[in-house]
């Protein structure tokens, strides 16, 4: 991670704010879903960050206190444009729930029992599913191309432990961090060419 705080213009902040705002407003689901959607915007569409930085910051966001999606937007915003970037991304993440819930609080019963709302949310969940699966497939494919044994072992082991055995995320993060510390200190030079 080098040249932080590149000069960013008004256009950048507008694009950052609105893309983050709409993703926060429309995404049903937790931290890793929002990270995947932010990645499709920040990395795949705008090219503001690369995969590697996004994954690093996602791991940090998960390890910090607070809500992962909020931590992720702060860290990614900071990485892209320093403190102004972090503030922009944070505001864009928390404003949609603030607006949505202010409206819902006025008419809770009507909202909670409305079939239209339920159907729309179910539909949006399908969209979020398609997006996170696409991001997952994309990232796994890139990891496989690297052909490095230990990262692949970590990937498979973490997946199995989490999905099939429900092992706590924090425990997995600590174990994988230690595994990296012990076995992957020199791996950097090789990886730089790829992801």
Site for another protein in 45-64 (CB under 8 A): 45, 52, 55-64
Tokens of 43: 């990395």
Q: How far is CA 88 from the centre of its chain?
A: 16
80 contacts another protein (rule: CB under 8 A): no
Cα-based distances in Å from 171 to 68, 113, 161, 191: 16, 39, 10, 25
* In the complex, minimum distance from the CB of residue 9 to another protein, in angstroms, rounded to a whole number: 22
The residue among 14 and 133 lying less far from another protein, judged by its C-beta, is 133
Among 74, 81, 88, 92, binds another protein (CB under 8 A): 74
* In the complex, minimum distance from the CB of residue 64 to another protein, in angstroms, rounded to a whole number: 6
65 contacts another protein (rule: CB under 8 A): yes
Among 10, 113, 181, 193, binds another protein (CB under 8 A): 181
- Count of Cβ atoms closer than 10 Å to residue 138 Cβ: 16
8 contacts another protein (rule: CB under 8 A): no
Site for another protein in 21-40 (CB under 8 A): 22-37, 40
Site for another protein in 81-120 (CB under 8 A): 83, 86, 90, 93-94, 96-98, 100-102, 104-105, 108, 111-112, 115-120
Q: Is the CA virtual torsion 164, 195, 125, 17 positive or negative?
A: positive
Please report which helix (H) or strand (E) contains residue 142, including its range.
helix 115-146
Q: What crossing angle do the helices spanning 149-163 and 169-183 adopt, rounded to 10°?
A: 170
194: nearest Cα among 68, 63, 56, 52:
52
159 contacts another protein (rule: CB under 8 A): yes
């Amino acid at each position: 991670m080098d040249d932080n705080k590149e000069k960013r213009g008004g256009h950048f902040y507008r694009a950052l704010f609105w893309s983050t705002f709409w993703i926060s407003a429309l995404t049903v689901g937790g931290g890793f879903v929002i990270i995947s959607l932010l990645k499709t915007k920040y990395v795949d569409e705008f090219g503001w960050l690369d995969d590697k930085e996004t994954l690093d910051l996602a791991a940090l966001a998960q390890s910090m206190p607070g809500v992962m999606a909020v931590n992720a937007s702060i860290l990614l915003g900071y990485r892209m444009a320093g403190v102004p970037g972090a503030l922009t991304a944070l505001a864009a993440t928390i404003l949609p729930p603030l607006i949505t819930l202010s409206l819902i609080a006025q008419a809770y019963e009507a909202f909670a029992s409305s079939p239209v709302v339920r159907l729309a949310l179910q539909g949006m969940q399908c969209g979020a599913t398609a997006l996170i699966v696409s991001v997952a497939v994309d990232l796994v494919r890139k990891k496989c191309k690297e052909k490095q044994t230990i990262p692949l072992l970590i990937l498979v082991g973490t997946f199995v432990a989490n999905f099939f055995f429900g092992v706590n995320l924090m425990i997995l993060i600590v174990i994988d961090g230690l595994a990296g510390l012990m076995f992957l200190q020199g791996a950097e030079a090789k990886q730089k060419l790829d992801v």
